[in-house]
A and B are shown apart, each in its own frame.
Chain A
């Protein structure tokens, strides 16, 4: 009886080891034929959730008012940016620098979500590779490809605690720091020099120091600054702009190698 139990235990362990050696192939096999069903479930879920959100949305007017105010502020910023762009163009031509490098993008649909991971319906058969950055149509950073299967890929979202990358805050001057997910739909920007003049509401984007993501992808906005006399650096809580409810489609940047 004792030997029988041990034999069963050894068999289970061996089976699990073998399954994990071929884990990617097994998952690939299931993802290949589950794609249409998952896509269908995701779309139905999305429209059902939207339907109920509209019914239970009580503060819609407040939201519209806030968005209108934000829109006006953004319009004034847009004018400033247009002026800066014109200035940049002149400087770029003068120094022969390559400005506004365009990305080569691949459109993909979200088909499933699991914690801080998303599944998209494109894989290595579409030219995807692990490590590629994933953005929204507004050039907001969503995450990067962690595992790529034949016709699907798993995206690790930026707020996952295991994600950390370099970012830039646009305060009085641009300041670099280290962005880390805190697993709670937020990010923490660390290693900001104490003398850096950043404030709540400053925009945060990616920088290209580590090469993990291309420069200039929008990440979020500074929510709160944490500054103590004991620490040598200041940190900031960042609200990211990537909203799964607003982003129906995602784009994978194909021409950036990390």
Chain B
């Protein structure tokens, strides 16, 4: 269980570095694809409402996005946590999936 949490930190760290240094060359109309953000969105949509690992992913992603950007620490953390809670609420209350959630 602990490995899951530690591994997610390492993966998100590299995803944010990848976004800032590699994907910046492939910006479309100034927008850069953010794998960390996509991970947070997809995980929170597919996660069971009683689990909160998606929120933890949002916290870690927000932290690294803040560290490697010009924003104060907390800017992306708050946005991503609110986004993940919103997704959990909407997708658990109003959307049903034909498969069992993670």
Contact = CB atoms under 8 A, between A and B. Distances in A.
Contacts, number: 64
**Most chain-B Cβ atoms within 10 A of its Cβ — which of A30, A38, A41, A119?**
A41
Interface in B29-76: 67-70, 72-74
A48 B25 contact: yes
B8 interface: no
B68 A23 contact: no
Given A46-B25, A49-B26, A38 B20 contact: yes
B72 A20 contact: yes
Size category, A interface: 20 to 34
Tell me the dominant secondary structure on chain A's binding face.
Answer: helix
B70 to A, nearest CB: 5
A34 B17 contact: yes
Contacts of A34: 17, 68
Contacts of A30: 67-68
Nearest to B74: A16
Interface string B3-37: 00000000000100110111111100000000000
Contacts of A197: none
Contact of A113 (B24, B67, B73, B74): B24
Size category, B interface: 10 to 19
Contacts of A46: 25
A20 B78 CA distance: 14
A215 B26 CA distance: 34
Contacts of B25: 45-46, 48-49
Contact of B18 (A41, A48, A114, A117): A41
B22 A41 contact: yes
Contact of A45 (B24, B67, B74): B24
A20 B22 contact: no
B80 interface: no
Given A112-B20, A112-B68, A114-B20, 17 more contacts: A16-B73, A16-B74, A19-B73, A20-B72, A20-B73, A20-B74, A26-B73, A30-B67, A30-B68, A38-B21, A39-B21, A42-B21, A46-B25, A49-B26, A111-B21, A112-B21, A114-B70
